[in-house]
Structure 1
């Protein structure tokens, strides 16, 4: 046993303050001290002092303060990953003791594009917080999900807005993102005429947005590949046989976003909508809340990558 201040004794490492870490995450996700201060109900100067103290504790510069935005250093990105893990663990520990254990089954319906990106994160978060709840997942086109939700077959449904046949006033907007043209990096598909497209079947919002934009721009095209899921689209893109429309966050190597220099029209934004039966049962409410939190977390990560 080492004697304090004696040979072999080392001072204990400092403990990180969860409140400071929460504020650090808010600053990074908002890319602004003022916006983060509004979110956490503190003043920008108070947050600045907290970050300065945190940087002194760790002996590293964590944030780069620029005129219009705040970005992370390499050390700041590392701390951000630890901070999110610590905050999630803290929430799980508190919920374990203060929140009654939920049981039962929740029926979740999701469109393919949402399920591809978000479903693993949602299920992982929900399982850690509510391990006794069974989640039944259905993946289907948005219009089918709406009909099943209205028939009482689903508790929560995630759909793409703008789908043909869907009323414009349905659902809570949980995510908004730019739709872009995508093709293989270094490929030639975007230069072929008529333009070769890989799209979903009739009724898909992405298909409607793509064809409307091309018609308005007077660009000749041919629908060469049709698939109900994004994996089918990406297969044609990877082979450089066509281009398609994808959310910006889904465009990953070997694919790339096709910029305006290729002469293709802008597509605008699309939204993800959530349908839920408020107050139907605690388990479905908890899952719906987890979906919203997962989108917020995922959007924050996308902003970090976009600003890198």
Structure 2
């Protein structure tokens, strides 16, 4: 039977993958560069595959290294969760978190379940409102942490996930083929709405806004019923939706970034613990899109490594 993997080696491996540098990783894990290099040689021997390749002056993950990264993150997270479960000095108290309802629907069940298991004495109070409202709550001290759509103009959020923004219609209707497109959007201050209108104008497509709401549930209902088409991030896709692309005559939309905003709090240790937990939990759940139909398989959601590449064009949502 093969010996188990060394968690210290995996932690160093993750640091190198995140920083792209053995030198910076050595600083993060408080080891010498030679010690880090030795750790990685031993890990490669243990895996039996090369994990890094030179890319200019940086170290790039090989295909095998990329595969190992998602496993390594989960193993380190499970290790911390296990230790926390037996810690007599574990965190306790109340933390107020806010998020838009589309993120709450997809992300919160996983986040809350895992956090509650390792921190059973922490009470979570959840507020579901649009990003602009959550930013105001953070400013006024009404929330400790908010999972929001990142906005460069608004700032102050740490990006923890990046997703494509997608045109969506119903799989059972041909709403997108109408001469005048019926649209369902967020409120007028929704930046996804403005981005979509800009693309539609560039396409020269006639459209009318039939539904306007800050509720993702309302927007999804309009799409699924065939009454309108809309734009949604990948995480908000639902069974019965079809993704529209260039083959359908729809131009590309800018990406969206999901970020964390921190408020002023008397319990920063709880906020930091939950923020770290959220960043690790959002390890990039992807929704496979089929080439034939443009629909997606809701049941085959998969965890992969979090995308850390900087998008060339980013647009926040409601």
Q: Which residue matches 2:303?
A: 301
Q: 1:111 touches 1:159 (CA, 8 Å); kept in 2?
A: yes
Q: CA RMSD in A?
A: 3.9
Alignment deviations for residues 11-36 of structure 1 (CA, whole Å, 9 cap, x no partner): x6643433455678789x88xxx949
Which structure: larger Rg? 1
Stretch moving more, 86-95 or 126-135: 86-95
Q: Distance in 2 between matches of 1:135 and 1:222?
A: 40
Moved more, 104-113 or 221-230: 221-230
Residues 85-104 of structure 1 aligned to structure 2 (within 5 Å): 86-96=75-85, 100-104=89-93
Correspondence 1:50 to 2:17:
no
Q: Is 1:171–2:179 an aligned residue pair?
A: no
Q: CA deviation at 1:116?
A: 2.0
Equivalent pair of 1:248/1:257 in contact (CA under 8 Å): no
Contact 1:156 1:274 in 2 (8 A): yes
- The answer for the alignment partner of 1:211 in structure 2 is 197
**Residues 289 and 80 (structure 1), Cα distance of their counterparts in 2 relative to 1, 3 Å cut:** closer
Structure 1-normalised TM-score?
0.71
Residue 258 (str. 1) matches residue 244 (str. 2): yes
Distance 1:227 1:215 in 2: 21
| Cα distance in structure 1, aligned partners of 2:50 and 2:186 | 44
The structural deviation recorded for 1:119 is 1.4
Q: CA offset at residue 147 of structure 1?
A: 2.3
In structure 1, C-alpha distance between the alignment counterparts of 2:206 and 2:304, rounded to whole Å: 33
Q: Contact 1:179–1:269 at 8 Å: present in 2 too?
A: yes
Deviation of 1:194 (Å): 0.5
- Contact 2:283–2:306 (Cα < 8 Å) also in 1: no
Q: Is the 8 A contact 1:173 1:273 kept in 2?
A: yes
Task: Tell me if the contact between 1:237 and 1:243 (Cα under 8 Å) persists in the aligned partners.
Answer: yes
Say if 1:183 and 1:243, in contact at 8 Å, map to a contact too. yes
TM-score, normalised by the number of residues in structure 2? 0.69
- The aligned counterpart of 1:202 is 188
Which stretches in structure 2 are left out of the alignment for 5+ residues?
27-32, 287-301, 308-318
SS across alignment from 1:137 = strand
Q: Which residue of 1 aligns with 2:261?
A: 275
Whether 2:253 is the aligned partner of 1:288: answer: no
Q: Per-residue CA shift, 1:113-159, capped at 9, x if unaligned?
A: 22122212221232122210101001012222222222222111222
Give the 3 Å change call, closer, same or farther, for CA 247–62 of structure 1 in structure 2. Answer: farther
CA distance in 2, matches of 1:25, 1:187: 45
Match for residue 226 of structure 2?
Answer: 240
Q: Which residue of 2 aligns with 1:126?
A: 115
